[in-house]
Amino acid sequence: FNTLDDIAFAGRTALVRVDINVPMANGRVTDATRIDRILPTIRHITEAGGKVVLLAHFDRPKGQRVPEMSLSLVRPALEAALGHPVGFAEDCIGMPAKKAVAAMEAGDVLLLENTRFHAGEEKNDKMLAAGIAALGDIFVNDAFSAAHRAHASTTGVAELMENCAGRLMEAELTALEKALGTPERPVAAVVGGAKVSTKLDLLSNLIGRVDHLIIGGGMANTFLVAQGREIGTSLAERDMTDTARDIMAKASDAGCTIHLPRDIVVAREFAEGAASETLPVDQCPADTMILDAGPDTVAAIKELFAGCRTLVWNGPLGAFEIAPFDMATNAAARAAAELTEAGALISVAGGGDTVAALNKAGAAERFSYVSTAGGAFLEWLEGKTLPGVAALEV
Ligand code: 3PG
């Protein structure tokens, strides 16, 4: 695909698809990472003398005009980050959008209202895409984290006009390619989180691509059950044990070593200050639940990381939201961060809870790359083609 470097923006109007679907509380943006990461693209175009029309969804209004899901709420944070005023149009097509675009001058930035206020957005409606495309001269997709959606503003518009990838899209794809496309070996993957069932495709794809698969969090419990271990009152998907066995067999055929907890941190309840105990994995008491991996597991993970060149991380190793059950996640994340800083490891992380967990460990900024994507990162780990990327011209 083309990048910003291939396009002359002077005097042209760029429709820039961004993902500013940011978390908010009490009307304020609580994590501006996604906003910060699109600034290079916006600045490149404005500095080149172009006009930037930002196209984005916000939350899931399902085709309704939901005032709490108006992008006007995100606009102040965008202006603050950019240090430049940002205009706003109350619709992403039609007269409000046309008028606002017509009034723009070189170097201006305009934000269009939530594309999902139109039911046609998620249906990839051709009329909606055409209405958007008519507003500009070129389409720039900088929304890797929305690239798993084949929507009017991601694929529809791309198909109708000259297009290119923005800087963030480029950075995401480069980092991911380095991690799993043509990685330096050995490659390890950490896959954590609650459920095996939501990560089946991901696990199946990874066992064919990585040398070591470290399974943690609630998912690990299902694998422990599959190995015939007692897990007390732990969270597990007992109907998935055959699947877990199947994954282990396939991994062994593919030459991928699966690593499960060797020792566990258990408690009678998942609560702040709950009394906890560290035990070997085969000694889980019937009335306790596994909430984290123990220090022996962490030591093994650290040793493993030290022998690897590339690491892909998705999901926490334990119930990291509450101390002390964040120990394994924190310690392993910090070990990966140190190896990365020493130039020994290429570490890429993303998806769902991952960034929150790594931030909490103080490790996120020390990884080689942390993706802004949740669902798109997972689909990419599953080996799927992302329609938003596929729609870009080659
Ligand atoms: C995300 O937050 O992962 C993206 O913005 C996509 O949002 P969606 O899951 O509502 O499509």
Structure-token pair, residue 89: 């149009």
| Residue 84 in marked binding region | no
In the prediction, which pLDDT does 353 show?
A: 82
- Check whether 76 has a pLDDT greater than 90: yes
Lining residues, ligand 1, CB within 6 Å = 19, 21, 60, 145-146, 149, 374-375
- Check whether 93 has a pLDDT greater than 90: yes
In the prediction, which pLDDT does 82 show?
A: 98
List CB contacts of 122: < 8 A, sequence separation 6 or more.
62, 63, 116, 149, 151
Mean pLDDT of 103-126: 98
- Check whether 382 has a pLDDT greater than 90: yes
Tell me the C-alpha distance between 197 and 277, whole Å.
Answer: 28
pLDDT confidence band for 394 (50 / 70 / 90): confident
Tell me the C-alpha distance between 173 and 18, whole Å.
Answer: 15
Atom of ligand 1 nearest to the CA of 375: 3
Contact present, 328 and 294 (Cβ < 8 Å): yes
Tell me how far the alpha carbon of residue 103 lies from the centroid of ligand 1, in angstroms.
31
Long-range pairs for 75-80: beta carbons < 8 A, 24 or more residues apart = 75/111, 77/22, 77/28, 77/29, 77/32, 77/35, 78/20, 78/35, 78/54, 78/111
User: Which of 19, 30, 116, 386 for mutating ligand 1's site (highest number of atoms within 8 Å of CB)?
Assistant: 19
| Residue 353 in marked binding region | yes
Atom of ligand 1 nearest to the CA of 57: 5
Residue bearing the bigger pLDDT, 223 or 27: 223
In the prediction, which pLDDT does 230 show?
A: 97
Structural domains in the chain, CATH included, are 4-168 (3.40.50.1260), 183-381 (3.40.50.1260)
Tell me how far the alpha carbon of residue 147 lies from the centroid of ligand 1, in angstroms.
9
Distance of CA 70 to the CA centre of its chain: 23
Tell me how far the alpha carbon of residue 197 lies from the centroid of ligand 1, in angstroms.
20
Instruction: Please provide the distance, in angstroms rounded to a whole number, between the alpha carbons at the two ends of the chain.
Output: 4
Query: Mean pLDDT, the chain, as a whole number?
Result: 96
- Check whether 370 has a pLDDT greater than 90: yes
Atom of ligand 1 nearest to the CA of 21: 5
Structure-token pair, residue 170: 């480029």
- Check whether 393 has a pLDDT greater than 90: no
Contact present, 86 and 31 (Cβ < 8 Å): no
Tell me the C-alpha distance between 152 and 159, whole Å.
Answer: 10
Contact present, 186 and 211 (Cβ < 8 Å): yes
Mean pLDDT of 277-298: 98
Tell me how far the alpha carbon of residue 178 lies from the centroid of ligand 1, in angstroms.
24
Closest-CA residue, ligand 1 atom 7, reads 146
In the prediction, which pLDDT does 273 show?
A: 87
Structure-token pair, residue 103: 């009034």
pTM: 0.93
Model confidence pLDDT, tens digit, residues 224-261: 999 999 999 999 999 999 999 999 999 999 999 999 99
Q: Could you list the active site residues?
A: 34, 195, 352, 375
45 closest CA partner among 17, 82, 100, 4: 4
- Check whether 126 has a pLDDT greater than 90: yes
| Residue 59 in marked binding region | yes
**Beta partners for residue 111, in sequence order:** 54, 88
Sign of CA dihedral 133, 135, 140, 145: negative
Mean pLDDT of 214-230: 97
In the prediction, which pLDDT does 363 show?
A: 96
Tell me the C-alpha distance between 316 and 353, whole Å.
Answer: 7
Strands in 79-181 per DSSP E? 87-89, 109-112, 138-141, 163-165
